[in-house]
A and B are shown apart, each in its own frame.
Chain A
Amino acid sequence: MIIEIENLVKSFKEVKAVNDISFSVREGELFAFLGVNGAGKSTTINIISGTLKRDSGRVAVCGYDLDTNAEKIKNKLGIVFQNSVLDKKLTVYENLKYRANLYGIFGKDFKNNLEEMTELLDLKEILKRPLNKLSGGQKRRIDIARALLHKPKLLILDEPTTGLDPKTRITVWEIIEKLRKESGLTVFLTTHYMEEAADSDYVVIIDAGKIAAEGTPHILKNTYASDFIKFYNRREEAEKYFGKLGYKFKTERDYTEVELKSTSEASVFFKEKPELFDDFEILKGNMDNVFLKVTGKDLKGV
């Protein structure tokens, strides 16, 4: 396990930001940590990265206990913050050099690491440009390069794609995927985008400082999310039929959506009432449904 957290508690005056949570992260996996603002995500990240003291509980990263080996943990961690914290007036090269120096990486070692990052993240064209002259996507690449310069074992991404346009979001994810494949990097992700969480290996949903649900996206979807059939034709007959059976349905402009209890039900109805199924779609429940069901909160617009 690359992260082990046991009974973690952190309060700010009367507010219990993190209330007795335990979870672990396996080496090499993409771990998603979901929650609305104020759920306790950032508090947990700050504790793991050693910038915030916990009230109680145990935290170990890469086998090192946070209490006794905080410095060693810092060498194994790379963090991409929600907003860039690099020096906007300095060039990309200067930023990366000064940050690498903080890890004891100087001279030739820095040049070697920089070469690798330049190739991996395609930085050659922008190395001499000041950070404040770069686009949002380019800045994100530099943030990732800064987090990876010292070759960490664990990369923490705190809402890395918030505020980025869809194209840049895809680019950022392509980079992260490439890194995971090539170096077996463990990625600890917090995000508001459920489609990003859906691609992860393991998900923990935190709500009001407590773990509300956890598991692989597949298990979570099977446990908490309903499947749906969308009828684009013969909508009235479908509504009548499922209404009689006591199923919930939603009438939209182009279709009627019937919520199923399980995926296998669809094949039963297909056999029983094949005439209804001349223009239809069967949809698996997604992580949005999981999140809504588990927390009662909609992540959209958070």
Chain B
Amino acid sequence: MTEIKKLISLVGRNTKCYFKDKLTFFMSLITPLILLILFVTFLRNVYLDVFKSALPEGFTVNGRILEGIAGAWLMSSILSVSSVTVAFCSNVIMVEDKINKTITDFQVSPVKSTTVSISYFLSNFFVTFLVMMCVMVIGHIYLAAVGWYINVGDVFMIIIDCICGILFGTLLAGIVESFVSTQGALSAVATLVSSMYGFICGAYMPISSFGKGLQNILGLLPGTYGVGILRNHYMNGYLDALTKAGLPDDSISVIRKSFDADLTVFGSRIPLGAMYGILLGACVVLLACYIAIVLIKNKKSK
């Protein structure tokens, strides 16, 4: 019981340390917001044209649905990328504790090293969740302005999807950054992940636009399914609206495939439930790796 109280206290300490540095929080928040602004400014028209071209010739539809579905697709990209990139940026306290030797202070105290490691994971999860929710609210305000067709159930599922993505991101960050012990290395890792992750999980470009081989390779990466689940829940309401507007099922199916709501890997369509299964399965594997690394590192440090 006392160890749980110690864990709660450490999570509080890590979170407080994080938020005391306003710049760190601002930087974590600003990255996804910049992505949102860049998407809206530069890519909105491109995606609008792509959605328009997916409609049958002569089919007219309310402009708010098209504006909204393009924005929703962008939001799914931003949130799926941010769940990993923000987790990498927000894990700064774990690395700072190594740099400042605060970790030694914990080692001489009667608290289990696993408790300290879990506290970093939990506080990073909490901080990343807060940042993501801020981004989501801002994004939804934008969607409400251009065209809101997302139902309450899907909003709830979007939050669940974010939680799954954050779980994946914080575990991945915890593993990678457990090997980082300098500020420079932390910045390098965060930069590398920020620039690469969006492409390798198919967030910046629809996977369907890649060649079959690359599609299959990306299908092996669990992050791809973090994007897939968000695509589904962000686009569902808009696709329903398009169906109601008279768009044939074939065209809906084309849009779902073209924009990664339906993922096909090695010739098989991956159902939504399987996407969750793969993502959460990956989280279980990552959690096992994280625990193993913590235990091995603790043994080695002694």
Contact = CB atoms under 8 A, between A and B. Distances in A.
Contact of A98 (B9, B21, B107): B9
Contact of B110 (A51, A71, A79, A98): A71
Q: Is the interface of B mostly helix, strand, loop or mixed?
A: helix
B12 interface: yes
A94 B5 contact: no
A45 to B, nearest CB: 10
Given A71-B110, A102-B109, A85 B104 contact: yes
Interface in A72-112: 74-75, 77, 79, 81, 83, 85-90, 94, 98-99, 101-104, 106
Contacts of B302: 50-53
B105 A81 contact: yes
Nearest to A51: B107
B64 interface: no
A226 interface: no
A89 B101 CA distance: 15
Most buried by A among B20, B102, B104, B109: B109
A44 interface: no
B13 interface: yes
B243 to A, nearest CB: 53
A90 B105 contact: no
Given A51-B302, A74-B110, A98-B10, A89 B100 contact: no
A104 B2 contact: yes
Contacts of B12: 98
B17 A50 contact: no
B179 interface: no
Interface in B1-31: 2, 5-6, 9-10, 12-13, 16-17, 20-21
B16 A51 contact: no
Nearest to B18: A89
Contacts of B111: 102
Contacts of B101: 81, 83, 85
Q: What is the interface residue range for chain A against chain B?
A: 20 to 34
A49 interface: yes
Contacts of A87: 13, 17, 102
Contacts of B16: 90, 94
B301 interface: yes
B137 interface: no
A90 B20 contact: yes
Most buried by A among B10, B21, B107, B301: B107
Interface in B77-115: 100-102, 104-111
A98 B16 CA distance: 11
Contacts of B10: 98, 101-102
Contact of A85 (B5, B13, B17, B100): B100
13 contacts: A49-B107, A51-B107, A52-B302, A74-B110, A79-B108, A85-B101, A86-B105, A90-B16, A90-B17, A98-B12, A99-B109, A102-B110, A103-B110
Given A51-B108, A101-B6, A102-B110, 12 more contacts: A50-B107, A50-B108, A75-B110, A81-B105, A85-B100, A85-B104, A87-B13, A89-B17, A89-B20, A89-B21, A90-B16, A102-B106
Interface of B: 2, 5-6, 9-10, 12-13, 16-17, 20-21, 100-102, 104-111, 301-302
